[in-house]
């Protein structure tokens, strides 16, 4: 079985974070979110993967993943010249797939459940597709599956009046039969070739589509709040370690400290907290819970919780920050002790 990772799109809901690169490279627990997708595919035994790139910062995807050897994968790249929809992106992989079954994974989907058993079951089945579903609170934001008597009867994209709350996640097991369907698709009202329309056509032409329902964690990280939520969920699964130097005794919960990082004596840390390599956390900081800090960052005097701080950041002020995402190379310098909610683009400098 081969794999396809969709890594395109403009990430407009995440601006300014996506002005300088694709949203799938934004870090969750100090790793690009798309790396979690590749990890899921590798754990399912899928090592030959095509990454679909397009839009802002495609070169950064190639720079990070390369040929995939560092990740135990064989990675190739396929360009999508315009954001014409998931089905269009899949169709670009027809030659790559050949006659094999394959898995499509949207690069902004975070899942904690192993998909190996699902992959094995699909490989051994005669189904034309297997999709993963998840109950959501806002089904009109998603593709939705209608189910009767244990069988999918219809799949629709972002319906105004959803018949169920079962969202079609961005994880699809498919066969080459889908390419014939896609060749006959018409653009949707969004002027895109929708994978939900293709799946619904499979159903209407009497092909078998099976499904699994995710009952633990799944997140489509389309908004800053989604990314912070996913970051928290990943942090809560990590086990404590300390590869740096920790001088403080004020620690509760799981704390992960990277190499060459120094934690000063009067710092308070409430886990889960992940601190990368070569960081400096100086006296009078309170960090956590639910905080990840990227490599080479320096913090002092601040209170941080429920926040993602990326690499090479400096926060040197008496400031309270929560529910925020702070991009690489940002600097926050202030005198007043104010509570702030921030969404900062790369290279930002703030003087408050």
pLDDT at 298 over 70: yes
Q: Where are the beta strands (DSSP E) in 136-282?
A: 143-148, 151-157, 166-174, 209-214, 218-220, 241-242, 245-246, 250-252, 255-257, 262-263, 268-270, 273-275, 280-281
pLDDT at 167 over 80: yes
Instruction: Name residues whose C-beta falls within 8 Å of residue 328's C-beta, 6 or more positions apart in sequence.
Output: 294, 310, 311, 312, 313, 346, 347
Per-residue pLDDT, 226: 86
CA pair distance 141, 230, nearest whole angstrom: 18
pLDDT at 326 over 80: yes
The tokens of 276 are what?
Answer: 């990368």
C-alpha closest to that of 297 among 318, 275, 317, 265: 275
DSSP state at residue 174: E
Left (φ > 0), alpha (ψ -120 to 50) or beta: where does 288 sit?
left
Query: By three-state DSSP, how is residue 249 classified?
Result: coil
pLDDT at 337 over 60: no
Place of tokens 């998603």: 142
The secondary structure element, H or E, covering residue 325 is: strand 325-326
Per-residue pLDDT, 141: 83
Per-residue pLDDT, 57: 75
| Confidence band, pLDDT 50/70/90 cuts, at residue 10 | low
pLDDT at 300 over 60: yes
pLDDT at 348 over 90: no
| Confidence band, pLDDT 50/70/90 cuts, at residue 81 | confident
- CB neighbours of residue 151 within 10 Å: 12
Per-residue pLDDT, 49: 97
Residue 32 vs residues 71, 111, 113: alpha-carbon distances, Å = 13, 14, 18
| Confidence band, pLDDT 50/70/90 cuts, at residue 142 | confident
What's the mean pLDDT in 103-122? 91
Per-residue pLDDT, 88: 93
pLDDT at 14 over 70: no
**Long-range CB contacts (within 8 A, 24+) of 56-62:** 56/10, 56/11, 56/18, 56/19, 56/20, 56/21, 56/22, 57/20, 57/21, 57/22, 57/25, 58/7, 58/8, 58/22, 60/21, 60/22, 60/25, 61/7, 61/22, 61/24, 61/25, 61/34
Per-residue pLDDT, 343: 67
Size of the chain in residues = 352
pLDDT at 17 over 70: no
Query: By three-state DSSP, how is residue 32 classified?
Result: strand
| Confidence band, pLDDT 50/70/90 cuts, at residue 122 | very high
Query: By three-state DSSP, how is residue 53 classified?
Result: strand
Question: CB–CB of 68/2 below 8 Å?
Answer: no
Candidate ranges 139-143, 221-225, 248-252, 277-281; pick with highest mean pLDDT: 277-281
Instruction: Name residues whose C-beta falls within 8 Å of residue 151's C-beta, 6 or more positions apart in sequence.
Output: none
| Helices (H), ranges, the chain | 33-43, 58-65, 86-91, 94-97, 116-124, 177-183, 195-204, 224-235
pLDDT at 188 over 60: yes
The full set of domains in the chain, from first to last, is 2-222 (3.90.550.10), 238-351 (2.160.10.10)
Residue 16 vs residues 11, 20, 23, 345: alpha-carbon distances, Å = 9, 8, 10, 5
| Confidence band, pLDDT 50/70/90 cuts, at residue 315 | very high
Distance of CA 349 to the CA centre of its chain: 26
**Residue-wise pLDDT tens digits, 239-263:** 999 999 998 889 999 999 999 999 9
Per-residue pLDDT, 278: 97
The tokens of 98 are what?
Answer: 């050949």
pLDDT at 352 over 70: no
Distance of CA 185 to the CA centre of its chain: 28
pLDDT at 339 over 70: no
What mean pLDDT value characterizes the chain? Answer: 88
Place of tokens 């209170």: 303
């Amino acid at each position: 079985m081969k794999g396809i990772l969709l890594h395109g799109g403009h990430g407009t809901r995440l601006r300014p974070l996506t002005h300088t690169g694709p949203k799938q490279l934004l870090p969750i627990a100090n790793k690009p979110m798309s790396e979690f997708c590749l990890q899921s595919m590798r754990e399912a035994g899928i090592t030959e993967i095509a990454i679909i790139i397009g839009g802002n910062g495609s070169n950064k995807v190639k720079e990070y993943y390369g040929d995939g050897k560092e990740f135990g994968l064989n990675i190739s790249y396929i360009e999508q010249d315009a954001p014409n929809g998931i089905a269009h992106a899949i169709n670009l992989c027809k030659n790559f797939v050949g006659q094999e079954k394959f898995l499509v994974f949207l690069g902004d989907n975070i899942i904690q459940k192993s998909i190996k058993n699902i992959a094995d079951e699909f490989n051994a089945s005669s189904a034309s597709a297997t999709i993963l579903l998840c109950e959501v609170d806002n089904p009109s934001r998603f593709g939705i599956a209608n189910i009767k008597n244990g069988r999918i009867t219809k799949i629709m994209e972002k319906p105004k009046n959803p018949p169920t709350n079962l969202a079609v996640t961005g994880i699809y097991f498919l066969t080459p039969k889908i390419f014939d369907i896609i060749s006959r698709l018409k653009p949707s009202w969004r002027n895109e070739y929708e994978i939900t329309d293709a799946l619904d056509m499979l159903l209407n032409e009497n092909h078998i589509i099976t499904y699994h329902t995710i009952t633990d964690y799944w997140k489509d990280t389309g908004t800053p709040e989604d990314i912070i939520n996913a970051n928290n969920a990943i942090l809560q699964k990590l086990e404590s370690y300390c590869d740096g130097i920790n001088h403080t005794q004020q620690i509760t919960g799981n704390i992960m400290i990277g190499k060459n990082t120094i934690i000063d004596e009067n710092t308070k840390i409430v886990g889960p907290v992940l601190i990368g390599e070569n960081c400096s956390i100086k006296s009078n900081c309170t960090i956590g819970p639910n905080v990840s800090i990227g490599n080479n960052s320096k913090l002092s005097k601040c209170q941080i919780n429920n926040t993602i701080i990326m690499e090479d950041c400096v926060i040197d002020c008496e400031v309270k920050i929560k529910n925020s995402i702070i991009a690489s190379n940002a600097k926050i310098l202030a005198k007043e002790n104010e509570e702030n909610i921030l969404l900062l683009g790369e290279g930002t400098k703030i003087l408050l």
